[in-house]
Structure 1
């Protein structure tokens, strides 16, 4: 058997995550910034590289807009509580550098040889996608995977229980609130069309927590948003408007955090299930927070095996 080159034992990777500016309301963006922080916390070398704007299907920005964006780039805020330094151009040319792209980035615009593609949402659902040859894939959850392309990507997630959300046990909850996001194709239900119903889109987490503590029920047309879980933590009944799956079982199979505390649909049996399993959801969220670091450790091991040991 051929011996592995021992000169590689001391080598390490430099990770560069191509991410949008930090946005506390974007779960995918939070994950990308948290990945850089977690890698640095674990003793690896990781940086952010600002991602160019990406537009949904059907939207077009002409050459003049792109030219102005190039010469007057938008600000790139980061979370000051995280260890997320920005990469320099020299870092892109370093040996053993790895670029991590979300699924919405087309191709390999940075031009780094070693590419990791992190599937934060199902490719093609909201944006077109274009992968390159020999990419390494990871996924946030099963629903985001394309196993016919990836062969079954391993998990990589960084869930954290947002401490802004809490049940303040206020008396006299009444009314409803909702969010649409990736559920924009679904027909609206009457409960979200009433004049007093509150759309939480665009509110800060503190403002959403206040709404959740005032309302009886939160309806989400988006079947994968963390706001469904945040509502439960805040003591608000949480209902997902169904449509993408035939049943709760099918939905929960690809959305692990949907097993407990959330009604998949408006039936009395679903709402009873949500009510009786609230505590189990909160326990699961705490477990997933603890397990997140383990997925990052496995990410490190797998990427080193791929990009160093097989070099």
Structure 2
């Protein structure tokens, strides 16, 4: 039986780069990780899709994991980019070699809609590594759509699943269906997608969020408010941040936007992304310069008040 992930916010950490060769910027990465811990994240998700893991070398992935572990005391979920079993095992073994007991679980994408085949994939990874697994249902990245009932069947068959990250729209509906299928005492289910559906996901019973946003303190405050005071309390906290959530989650440029906002907030030194990610559009920055900076200043003040 794996360790079940704690309720709350598991911050998805982007990978900052620097210089003409876009080397991993460990100083900025450490500063980001320290911020996630300071604002109350219960854990970190490193080498996810928004961590640009697919563009990193094996050595760079190890460097990112080492930096995150050294900069905070938070437990870590390491993302696995491979969709096939054997290369996924190799990625998990590499993460275990770097993190040891700091590795709480690995995040594995659903690679098929067939529950028997998906269960065998997860069982093969667990058998070879002993790792707990966060099952990520993210059709936008994997290209695979898995019905909630199939995800539930896989989770029931695989007791080493530590959580489900549900990112198949409509997310709140799928989370509600998944939790109903799992029944009382099932594994926690987390929302993602930058917090766009966070309020509805929490109302549907999500344990929290496993995602990134340029104001992670707002995610933390909203999840805490939902757990303590219900959906209305969460909405009161998170509503002022929703326009920025929607701005940040624009298709194809979402990663670049998030990095640009972290840059403007002073947490990273460079907002560059690696190919194939699309860079921040200069025209957008010029068009929204004053408006965006004013919004960040106002939300900075709000964020300081919700910590």
Query: TM (normalized to structure 1)?
Result: 0.28
State the structure with more CA Rg: 1
Greater RCO (CA < 8 Å, at least 6 residues apart): 2
Higher helix share: 2
